[in-house]
């Protein structure tokens, strides 16, 4: 298991940019490859035709993350679950590192969560530490037809569902998806600043009485240049 090799983009420490842990120091583990091509993707260097920056074994990744002082890991991409059993091996290895208390996985909604959810149900450390952040793709992404709606059945209260809102159509669609599929987990709405100014998204959330929806801004794009990597 520890010898599985995974194509990688970068490993770095910064503060979490969005979601429930926004602002907390976090180690980011960004793997290479993605099965989607979203219109507004901000990490095109994490999939073809770009190339992986390096290859690393599960053991090497675990060794690297332990050189930082953060207590949380964000496993991201690309799509961090695209490598199947290798992704599961990495999550398993990281979950048993005593120095980390939270491992959140930013998955794109087009990967079947069933095998990973089953492992979380069966393994005590997965159950204690591992959380899914499912980024449900709306019409503006160009990839909505790829969403796997049964993934909602596997989400728990500690998980998150993120909707990136780029238009009024996206917002309305998010409402419909929430009504039809959402069961557990915190709902986040994040604006595409160029087409959905944050203040407009806030107004829409308030006017629709979405008391349990969190408006999530990407702090790293406020603190640093939006195109800066490794932050």
User: What is the reported pLDDT for 226?
Assistant: 65
pLDDT in tens, 88-102: 999 999 999 999 999
Half-sphere exposure at residue 18, Cβ-oriented, CA atoms within 13 angstroms: 25
Annotated binding site for substrate: 15-17, 30, 76
Residues in the annotated binding site for [4Fe-4S] cluster? 34, 38, 41
Q: Average of pLDDT values for 137-155?
A: 96
User: What average pLDDT does this structure show over 14-23?
Assistant: 92
Given a cut of 70, is residue 38 above it in pLDDT? yes
pLDDT for 2: 67
Query: Mean of the per-residue pLDDT values for the chain?
Result: 94
Q: Measuring CA to CA, which residue among 227, 221, 150, 223 is closest to residue 181? A: 150
Q: Please state the rounded mean pLDDT for residues 44-51.
A: 93
Element (H, E) at 221: helix 219-223
**Banded model confidence at residue 15, pLDDT cuts 50, 70, 90:** very high
CB 171 within 8 A of CB 215: no
Binding positions for Mg(2+) are 43
Binding residues: 15-17, 30, 34, 38, 40-43, 76, 78
- Residue 223 has what pLDDT? 78
Beta bridge pairs of residue 29: 11, 75
pLDDT tens sequence across 53-100 = 999 999 999 999 999 999 999 999 999 999 999 999 999 999 999 999
Nearest to 21 by CA among 94, 71, 65: 71
Per-residue H/E/C for 84-142: CHHHHHHHHHHHCCCCCCEEEEEECCCCCCHHHHHHHHHCHHHHHHEEEEEEECCHHHC
* 168 vs 194: which has the higher pLDDT: 168
| Eight-class DSSP state of 175 | H
Are 116 and 85 within 8 A, CB to CB? no
So what's the pLDDT on residue 230? Answer: 67
Q: Residue 82: what pLDDT?
A: 97
CA angle 200, 203, 205 (to 5 degrees): 110
Pick out the residues of the known binding site for S-adenosyl-L-methionine.
40-42, 78
Sketch out the chain's domains with CATH numbers.
5-223 (3.20.20.70)
194 pLDDT exceeds 80? yes
**What does the DSSP 8-state code read for residue 226?**
T
Antiparallel, parallel or unpaired: β 5-15 and 54-57: antiparallel
Q: Is the peptide bond before 146 cis (omega within 30 degrees of 0)?
A: no
Q: Is the pLDDT of residue 196 over 90?
A: yes
């Amino acid at each position: 298991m520890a010898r599985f090799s995974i194509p990688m983009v970068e490993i770095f420490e910064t503060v979490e940019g969005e979601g429930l842990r926004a602002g907390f120091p976090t180690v980011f583990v960004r793997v290479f490859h993605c099965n989607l091509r979203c219109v507004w993707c901000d990490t095109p260097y994490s999939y073809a035709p770009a190339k992986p920056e390096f290859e690393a074994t599960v053991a090497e990744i675990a060794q690297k993350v332990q050189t930082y002082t953060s207590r949380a890991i964000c496993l991201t991409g690309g799509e961090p679950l695209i490598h199947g059993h290798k992704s599961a091996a990495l999550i398993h290895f990281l979950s048993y590192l005593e120095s980390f208390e939270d491992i959140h996985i930013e998955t794109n909604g087009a990967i079947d969560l069933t095998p990973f959810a089953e492992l979380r149900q069966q393994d005590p450390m997965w159950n204690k530490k591992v959380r899914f952040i499912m980024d449900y793709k709306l019409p503006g992404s160009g990839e909505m037809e790829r969403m796997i709606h049964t993934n909602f059945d596997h989400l728990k209260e500690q998980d998150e569902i993120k909707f990136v809102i780029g238009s009024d159509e996206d917002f309305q669609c998010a409402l419909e998806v929430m009504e039809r599929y959402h069961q557990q987990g915190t709902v986040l709405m994040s604006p595409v600043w160029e087409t959905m100014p944050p203040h407009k998204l806030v107004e829409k959330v308030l006017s629709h009485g979405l008391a349990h929806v969190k408006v999530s801004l990407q702090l790293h794009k406020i603190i640093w240049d939006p195109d800066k990597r490794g932050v």
